[in-house]
Copies of this chain bind each other. A is one copy, B any other.
Amino acid sequence: MDSSIKFGNILVVGIGLIGGSIIRALKENSFAGGVYGIDVDKDALSSAYELGLIENIDENIPGDLDDLLVIFSVPVLSIQEAMSTINTMISIENVTYTDTLSVKSSVLNTLQALDKNVLKSFVLSHPIAGSEHSGFKSSSADLFKEKLSIICPHEDNDAQAVSSVTDFWKALGSYTKKLSAQDHDELFGKTSHMPHVIAYALMNSLYQDLGAKTFLYSGGSLEDYTRIASSDPVMWKDIMVSNDISILNSIESFKKSLDELSGLIDSKNATGLIKFFSSVKIARDKSILGKED
C-alpha cells in the first residue's frame, strides 16, 4: 500500500482524532519515509513518539525535509496561524500541502492571500471520517478505510500535487471524489453541518425540558440521534463561523419543511401527513439507491 504514497516525508500539524489517525495509518502501512507531528498538546506528542508513530520527540522538526507532504489537521480558524508557524520551521521548496478541514472556501481564501508557491502546492481535501470523540486518544489506523475523501482542486493548483494527494488518501484506504470548494461548502452545509446544528439544538431543548430524565426512558435511539451533539465545541464553532452563509440557508430551508409538517400535525391532516411522510420515504429510499449505482 505504501508504494502509492509519493512523498519522502510527511509532517502532520495537529495530531488529534484525524491527524492522529493519519500517523497511525502510516505506521500500519509500513510507510518507509519520515513521519513527523506537531501539536499544542504535549501529551499527545509524547504518546505519538513513544508509540513510534513520529520521529520527533519535541517540536524541533528538521528544516530541510525533502519531498515533504504537510497535512494541516487543526480547527478551521487555526489554519492561518498553523501555516505561519510551519513556514518558520521548514523550507517551502519541494513541499506539497493538504488539510483535513470540514470547510474549504475559507481555507482557500486564506491561501489566496499567501505565497503563490504555497497556493499552487496546496491541495484542499476533506476525509469524511470522524466521530463525536476527539483527540489523539480516540484516533485509529482504520479511520479512513473505505471512507470517502473529498478533494477540492482549485484553478491555481499544480496537477501533479492534486494527483499525489489523491493517491495519498487512496493509500490510507479511502476512495476519493472531486468537488469545487464552493460546492463542497454548500453541500456539506446541508448534509453534515446542518445535522450538527439540529443535534445541538434538539439536545439543548430536551435537556432544558427534561434535565436528568432526558435519556432515562430512551431505548438507545435518542443516544444515537444526539450523538454528534457531543462533538468538539471549538471545532464546531469554527465550522459554523466559517460556513455561516451555507448553514444559515440550510436552516431556513429546514424551517420551512418543519413549519409545513407542524401545520399538518396542528390541523390533524391525516391525508397530508401520509403524503408528506410517504414522499419523504420514497425520496430517501430512492436517493440512497441512486448513490449505490
Given A233-B278, A233-B281, A266-B248, CB of A195 within 8 Å of CB of B208 = no
Is residue A211 contacting chain B, with contact meaning CB distance below 8 A? Answer: yes
A202 to B257, CA, bound (A): 7
A231 to B177, CA, bound (A): 31
Beta-carbon contact of B251 and A200 below 8 Å: no
Size bracket, chain A contacts: 35 or more
Shortest CB-to-CB span from A264 to chain B, Å, is 8
- A42 cross-chain contacts in B, Cβ below 8 A: none
Beta-carbon contact of B254 and A201 below 8 Å: yes
Is residue A138 contacting chain B, with contact meaning CB distance below 8 A? Answer: no
Is residue A111 contacting chain B, with contact meaning CB distance below 8 A? Answer: no
Shortest CB-to-CB span from A177 to chain B, Å, is 6
Instruction: Determine chain A's interface SS by DSSP, over half rule.
Output: helix
- A128 cross-chain contacts in B, Cβ below 8 A: 217-221
Given A147-B219, A281-B233, A283-B207, CB of A198 within 8 Å of CB of B202 = yes
Beta-carbon contact of A190 and B206 below 8 Å: yes
- Looking at A59-67, A115-123, A236-244, the stretch in contact with chain B turns out to be A236-244
Is residue A230 contacting chain B, with contact meaning CB distance below 8 A? Answer: yes
A287 to B179, CA, bound (A): 40
Beta-carbon contact of A237 and B273 below 8 Å: yes
- A276 cross-chain contacts in B, Cβ below 8 A: 200, 204
Beta-carbon contact of B261 and A200 below 8 Å: yes
**Binary per-residue interface labels of chain A (247-277) against chain B in the complex, 1 for a CB within 8 Å, 0 otherwise:** 1101101111110111011101010011011
A253 to B203, CA, bound (A): 11
Is residue A1 contacting chain B, with contact meaning CB distance below 8 A? Answer: no
Taking A187-B217, A202-B257, A213-B287 as given, write out 10 further A-B residue pairs in contact, using a Cβ cutoff of 8 Å, ordered by the A residue number.
Answer: A147-B220, A190-B206, A190-B209, A191-B215, A197-B265, A201-B257, A204-B261, A205-B253, A221-B228, A240-B264
